[in-house]
Every structure is written in C-alpha cells, then in structure tokens.
Chains A and B, each alone.
Chain A
Amino acid sequence: MAQVKEITRKLEEIREKIKAEIAWEPVGPTPMPEIPDLRNWDMRLLKTYAPFYAPFCDLCCFCTYGKCDLTETRRGGCGIDIATQQARWVLLTCLMGCSAHSAHAGHILEFLIDKHGPDKKIDLGGSISIEAPHIRTVVGLKPETLGDLSKAIEYVYKEITHLLDSTNMGQEGSYLDYESKALHAGMLDHVGMEVADIAQIVGFNYPTSVADTPLIDLGWAAVDKSKPVILFVGHNPATSTVVIDYLRENNLYDQVEVCGVCCTALETSRYSDRAKVVGPFSRQLFFIRSGIADVIMTDEQCVRTDMPIEASKAGSALIATLDKAMYGLEDASEMDTAEIVRQMVEDKKHFAILDSRKAAEVAAKVAIEIAPQRRKEWLTEAEAKELATKCNVCGMCEQVCPNLFNIGAGIAEVAKGNFDLIREQFNLCIGCGKCEAECPRKIPIFKIMQTAASMEKWKVRAGRGPIMDTEIRTVGAPITLGTIPGVVALVGCTNYPDIRDIAEMVDEFARRKYIVVVSGCTSMVAGMWKDADGKTVYEKYPPAFDMGGVVNVGSCVANSHITGAAIKIANIFAALPLRANYEVMADYVLNRVGAVGVAWGVYSQKAAAIGTGCNRLGIPVILGPHSSKYRRLYLSRKEEDDWRVMDARKREIVDTGEPSPEHLAYVCETKEKAMVMIPKLCIRKNDTPQGRAIKLNHYISLHKKYMGGGLPEDIHLFVRRDPDIPLVYKKEVREYLQKIGWKPREPVGLPTLIGTYPSKVPVDAVIH
C-alpha cells in the first residue's frame, strides 16, 4: 500500500513538472524515465547487439581493495568480473560525456536566464514547431520558455547522480545492467545537448529555420595576423559572444581579429559570420605554438590542459573563463580591470576571469596592447631544413605517436630538403605533441610541420541548428520507404587515421544522393578539401536536409538535432505521438529510419555518450580504429542472431533472418571498409522493394569499388524477393542467389520489436 502511494506521489510530481494538464499530446508510458523504466528495451537491443568488450587493462584499481587481477575467471575483491568492469568503465565514460554536455547546458542556461529572464520564449522560427524532440520524448515536456528548459536539465542532473552512484565499489554486478545504464546516460546526453543548443539559439539569436546559413572562412590562413588576434578554445559560447558584443559596442570589431578552435569556433561563427574558424581540436596545439593568437580565451571541454605552459611558450596571454578549467590560475574576477591588464601585459601573467564582461574587456585591451610587439612569422623551408638536421632518426617519436606513424622519417626528409613526406604526414597527425616532448634532440617538430601545413583557405557552412519540420515532411516518406538511400551523419572529433577520409566520405555519399549531415570538428574537416573546381563540399552540394544535401547542424551539442530529426520523422511524418513515448520512437527509428552515424575520429568521453545515445534510439554508429579503445562495441552475429520482429499489421512474429541494421556500435580499420559498411547499415526492414533495390545498388557498387569487384558475400541476407535486386546487377545477383540456394521471403508489412519482449507498450502503439 505504502509503495502504491509512493508511486502515485512520484507520478503526480512528474505530471506537475511536465505540465501534463496541457494536452498537446497524451502523456506516454515513460515520462522522465528512471533507470528501470527503459531497461526492457535495452535488454531487447542487447540480446541482438551483444556487448563486445576489449579490456584496455587486465586490472581494476577503483578502490583500496585493489589492484585486482581480473584475468581468466578471477573476480575482484568486490566480486566483479572483467566484463562487468568494462561495462562499469563504459558507463563512467558515458557519464563524463553526458555531464560535460549537461553542465555546459546548465551553465549557458543560467547565463541566458540572467540575461533574458526565465520567461524568454522559445521560438525557433516559422519552420520548426517541434522545437525539442528529445525533451518532448524523454521528459514529456513541451518547453515554451528558457525556464522550462531548466526542468529538463534538472531531470538530467538527477539521473546522472543515480547512475554515477551505481559505479561505486560493490554495487551493480551485471554487465547488461551496466550497459542499460550506459544507454540511459546516452539518452540523457541528447536531452542535455538539446537544452544547450536550444538555449543558445534562442539566447544568442543564432540562425534557425534556415538551411542556407553563411559560409565561414576556415583555416589558419584565414586569420588576419596583422591585427590583434583573440582566439577562443573550447565549446561554450558564453565568452566569445560577449567579446564580440564588447568589440562591437566599442567600435573595435574592425581592428581585432576573432577566431576559434574546436566547437567554440563553430558557436562563434553562428553568432558572427566574421569570426574565423581556425580548425578542429587536432590543430589546436599547432595554432597555439604558431604564436598567432595574442590572447587565448579558454572555456570548457577539449581544451589542452597544459594551456598556461603553451601560452607562455608562445608569448600569448591566457584568460581561463570558466570554472571547469582554471589551471591553478589566480581568480581575477573581482580584481580591477586596469590592474589585470597591466599584470598581463607587463608581467605576462595569466588569469582566470569568470565574469565574462570583464574577461571580454581585458582580452580586447591586452590583445591591442601586446600585438604590435609580437612576431608572428611562419617558419621558412630553409629554417625548417636547418632545424631538422639534428635528427638522427632514432625513432623515439614514432614509438609515442598515437597514430602510429614515423614522423621522424618525415623530419629526416626535411633535413634533405624534401618536404613531400612531411606534407603527407601532416594529414595523419592528430596534434597531440607527444613526439616533440619525447625527442631526445629537442627538435621542434611542430614548428617544422608548419612548413607542411597548408596555407589554403577553405569554407565551412555555419551550423544551422534543428532540421526544419518542412524538410522532415518532404523526406519522411522517401527515407522510410528507402528511396532516399540513407542519412549519413559524420560527427565528432578528429582522432582520424587520416584527416582526408572525411571529405572523401561526405563527397561519396552526397554524390550518391544520401542526406549527409555533419557536426562538430568533423564539420570543419569536411570543408578542408576542394574539388577540381576549387569548391569545398559546402559549395558543391546544397545545404538542404534532402537527397544529396550536406547539412552542418553545428557544434557538438547540435548533434541532438541529428537524432532529433530521426524522432521527428516518427512524429511528424508517421504521426506517432512522441510525448514520454521513448520506446515507440526508438523502435520506429531502429526498424524504419535508415540513418547511420559515422564517428570516424572520436576521442572524447562526450563522443562515447553521444554514440551510446544514438544506439538506444536505434541508430547504428561506425567508429574509426582508435575507438576500439572505448572498450565496448555492440555487435551482432548475422548468421546466428535473433532477427525476429513483430509484423504489427498481421500481429505475428516473423523470423526475417535479415540483419538490418547489422551492428549498433562497430569499429572498422580503414576508410575503404567504412565506405561499404555505411550503405549496409542504412538498410532497414521497412524498405519497399524499390527502396531496397536503391540501397543494395549502393552497397554493391561501393563494395565493388573498394573491395575489388565481386558481390558482398552477405548480399543474399538482404534480398527478400527478386524486385529487391538492383537492375544493374540483376543477372549477377540472380546467379549468385541461385548458386547458394537462396529462397525468397515476404517483406514485413510493419516491422517492430514491440511485442517481442516484455513491455508496457501495446503493439497498437506503433501503428500510425
């Protein structure tokens, strides 16, 4: 009895928070879901896409019982085994990522509520009425004001605490339950990101309800170093926007150059199209060491932790502007502005200044004062050659290189006056700086690499935020029928095997009329290539969320709009209610929306959270080789696994034998393999024969292009009946099918996992 009362009280509280009385849609089964609420959905996913663990370490050292050896059948002092320890680690990783985005959201929300008040209306323009698909689906709330967003973020904070609790020594003992919790964290991450980006769009007046956002200058050559230069590093635009306001108000914007590295650059360019985007995270240390920045302003996430040391080496002034990263610097938030400027200019001191107005004023004044005295020359080839002669090709640099290549060989070639190899290697370099730190001869490898850096200027399209409802209405049918072969989202950071892979992938799939979406550092990298006519992919392809379009949604937190678009297809196109209806949305996306994430160079914990959030929503993710270090994938075994679905129209369970999508989190080693996996992971059971034939056409043709001819050996698993076979390959495929004794099977009318596992959701709920 007491328990029933407790549940009722809790539900009432939730209903109040989400304003359940406003009946924009009926409240679904899981408003503000807690850990157990979507567990059955997770377990169903994990049954087909079992966790695949690659331990990074044989041991656990989480508590003072340790270190515990977890090899073979050993368990730690607390009873944990190696698989569960990996899952615990995965959960922690996802929580770090989710916290980073959510704390960013919370901070920016507070900042903007201070500025505009909590009643500031959320208005994303005339073409976006479903403003917050994640908040609506997960929380069950339709946010109308900035104040409403606070409720969503408070829910996320609460869940993070419960999840983190479970990682303490001596609790959860099942890897599957840890995975369910990681999936929960991933889902929360998308809510957090959505809060952040909606708040930013509303509070900073970013472009919205428009596809054709400005093209922004990209590359360090785009930065005018003859002016005082202020560089922003990180993710949170609370500082950069205030600096731009300050420069505008004081008529200094023409005199000072403003640029950024990493996502904060993308944010800044959404605020002012005159701000320059230097490049992604992997170019951070290069640019800082070039000394071009007079003042460096750091905010949060993906900022090098040795920034004060690097800034001093380069003679740049440093201001840390957010509490997340204060580097042990003196907090000058209360100090007199003139005194801070004096100490920064005369004593070359760095400060933390958490008051963004003050930080902006100091940055402008210091930049203007110190710039004329600073030398900002690029190294010449002759100078590089001279510096390189000290190299004795000892190989120490290669041994520490996380991208496993021999930069020393490139340096040795420079010493001979040949720059070809190092130019090639610059594309492989992820900018960690470990080689130079290791070099026993103290060779300034980064400086030498300046001569290999392209002096090209490129373009990146400013992030446009959410996909418009009007676009969803147009593409909903062709995506779910399969006649648009897929949505390919290239996202995340820059730990690539080769930076050139990205533009190549964008070009390949945009040319094939997929919808290509990009975000974060990857959106910059996509722009760092030109075709024979000198066009970047942003100039070559239209910016529409439609076949053959290349869409930049924006920074890291804008990733929520990509997954949000998948939810919107279910809600706007298929007219399924989304409110507190996560399972139905995720089931729809998994079975009917041919979308795949490609996180080719991700390194951060945030990326792990984003990817895991995609997975819970039914979107598979392809990762590059470095991501094997995340320790966990979700893989199926196509021949053995359970591919049964409910045909919701016939009310019967059908064994499709069709592994679509085949994996949920998958690592491949090379770009070539990724090129073939992308079309395959866009296949869905819902495809019409015409749609399936289009998808298989790309799968086969990319397979032939990158795998050296022949048919993919699993093609028979994806051909249901003869009309599924693409026309161009009819003969070849028919012959193959005949040879292996393939039998036709009926396509499923309305495929769903609902009804195949215990769930509160009735099968009726998926019928639109």
Chain B
Amino acid sequence: MSAVIPYHRVNVLTGIKSARLIEDAQEYAGLIQKAKRPLLVLGPLLLKHSLGDKLVLEYALEIAKAANIPTCATAQVRAKMGELGVTPDSFYDVVEIINALKDPNWQGVKKEGNHDLVIFFGIRSDLGEQGLSVLKHFAPHLKTMTLCKYYFPNANYSLPNFRKDEQWKAFLESLIDNLKKGA
C-alpha cells in the first residue's frame, strides 16, 4: 500500500508504523464491538462543526449510546454535553487521559481495568496526532481509532481523508446503524 498523506501536512508521518485505513463502516463497527472496554474521547472540535443540521458532537453521543461506550469529555466539551442533557463518564483533558491510558495498570474510567480500544473524536489534528503517537509508542496494551474526517497515521485504525463532508456524514450514520444492529 502506498503511503497515505494526512490532510494536514504538518501531520505527515516520519516513520514506518502507520494506521490501517478503513472506509467500511461495518468493519469499524466490528472493531468497536469486539473491544471489551472501549473508551470514546471527545474533543472540542465536536462543538465547532456541524454536519447538516446536527452538531458533530451529537453523532459522537449517538455512537457512544449505540455501542454503550463510556465517554471522556476533554476541554470544554462537558459544557455542551450538559446542554444536551448528557453527563460524560469522565473528565480528563486530552493529555491527562492519554497519560492515564499509558499505564497498563490503570483501572479505566469505569474502574474495570484499562481500556483496550480508545476512540478519539474532535481533537485538533496536530495535537491528536501527537497524542496518538504517545499511545502508539508507549501503550502497546491498547489500540487507537479515530472518527475525524482525516487520516491519522499514528492511530491503529483511521478513516481516510474524506473529500466531502457528505461522505463523512454517511460513514458516521452507517457506523451508528451498524452499531445499533450489532447491539
């Protein structure tokens, strides 16, 4: 497979270990459902962008609900979640949650053991890519996945660079459907 260049060129990979690019929502849903203790980390870009008439945060919350994934609200995400009547399962800022995840003995946000799949959604791509790098190098005990509309080389599983928001929207909707079906 030829190298995939991330949309934002500052994130271009200088290395050899890069994310598996997945475009199929069913495959993504399968990976999420296979995980025993997934975690969904929600970033502030979810409040900034909308797809159609829905905030991207709303898609994220639907995903969490459909697959019963605990959430971690970073930055000011909790404020908007509060407005939507949802309480996050945990509050850590992005570097703090990553720091905790690095520790294989950490008990996770549910105190049931560290997470085995961490899904990042809505973190600015440069910071997100750096955070994923931390886990790629120092957390061999877990896998990472992204839901943003760009390719993240440092993740284990990433979406492609979607050229159009509609493609991304369609993916997220299909993912939600697949998760609901699976549940």
| Chain A interface residues toward B at CB < 8 A | 52-59, 69, 71-72, 82-83, 398-402, 404, 497, 625-626, 628-629, 633, 635, 637, 640, 666-670, 672-673, 677, 706-710, 713
Q: Which of B20-28, B87-95, B165-173 contacts A (4 or more CB under 8 A)?
A: B87-95
Q: Which 10 A-B pairs have the closest CB atoms?
A: A708-B79, A58-B15, A628-B130, A57-B14, A672-B76, A54-B130, A625-B127, A670-B75, A673-B75, A708-B82
Q: How far is the CB of B161 from chain A (nearest CB, A)?
A: 9
Q: List 9 A-B contacts (CB under 8 A).
A: A58-B16, A400-B9, A404-B125, A635-B96, A637-B100, A669-B93, A673-B76, A707-B79, A708-B78
B98 neighbours in A (Cβ, 8 Å): 52
Cβ contacts under 8 Å, A59 to chain B: 14-16
Q: Are B75 and A668 in contact (CB under 8 A)?
A: yes
Q: Are A628 and B126 in contact (CB under 8 A)?
A: yes
In angstroms, Cα B126 to Cα A56, docked, is 10
Contacts A707-B76, A708-B79: A667 and B14 contacting too (C-beta < 8 A)? no
How long is the Cα–Cα vector from A708 to B82 in the complex, in angstroms? 7
Instruction: Tell me if A669 and B130 are in contact (CB < 8 A).
Output: no
Stretch at the interface among B32-40, B58-66, B133-141, B174-182: B133-141
Knowing A52-B95, A708-B79, the reply to whether A82 touches B137 (Cβ < 8 A) is: yes
Minimal beta-carbon separation of A704 from chain B (angstroms):
10
* Chain B residues whose C-beta falls within 8 Å of the C-beta of A668 in the assembled complex: 75, 93-95
B104: Cβ under 8 A from any A Cβ: no
How many angstroms between the C-alpha atoms of A680 and B124 in the bound complex? 24
CB distance from B14 to the nearest CB of A (A): 4
> A404, B99: Cβ atoms under 8 Å?
no
Q: Which residues of B71-119 have CB atoms within 8 Å of chain A's CB atoms?
A: 74-76, 78-80, 82-83, 91, 93-96, 98-100, 102-103
Nearest CB of A to B42, in Å:
12
> With an 8 A cutoff between CB atoms, is B7 at the interface?
yes
Q: How far is the CA of A38 from the CA of B136 in the complex (A)?
A: 33
Q: Return the contact of B137 from the options A71, A400, A673 (Cβ within 8 A).
A: A71
CB–CB B127/A58 < 8 A: no
Prevailing SS type, chain B contact patch: helix
B16 and A625 contact, CB distance less than 8 A: no
With both chains docked as a complex, state the minimum distance between the C-beta of B160 and any C-beta of chain A, in angstroms: 14
Q: Given that A52-B134, A71-B17 are contacting pairs, would A625 and B126 also be in contact in the complex, using a CB cutoff of 8 Å?
A: yes
B44 at the interface (CB under 8 A from A): yes
Complex: A14 Cα to B156 Cα, angstroms: 55
Partner of A55, one of B8, B124, B137: B137
- Cβ contacts under 8 Å, B9 to chain A: 399-400
Interface core residue of B17, B75, B80 (most chain A CB under 10 Å): B75
Quick check: is B1 within 8 A (CB to CB) of the other chain? no
**CB proximity of A659 to chain B, nearest CB, Å:** 11
Would you give the shortest CB distance from B113 to chain A, in whole angstroms?
Answer: 15
Which residues does chain A contribute within 8 Å of B102, judged by CB atoms?
A: 52
Chain B hits for A400, CB < 8 A? 9
Question: Does the CB pair B82–A667 fall under 8 Å?
Answer: no
Known contacts A52-B134, A56-B133; A669/B15 CB under 8 A: no
In the complex, chain A residues whose CB is within 8 Å of the CB of B95: 52, 628, 633, 635, 666-668
* Residues of chain A contacted by B78 (CB below 8 angstroms): 707-708, 710
Extra contacts besides A706-B79, A708-B82 (17): CB < 8 Å: A52-B95, A55-B134, A55-B137, A58-B14, A71-B15, A82-B137, A83-B137, A83-B138, A402-B126, A404-B126, A625-B126, A625-B127, A668-B94, A669-B93, A670-B76, A707-B76, A707-B78
Chain B nearest CB, measured from A188 CB (Å): 27
Chain B residues with CB below 8 A from A672, complex form = 44, 75-76
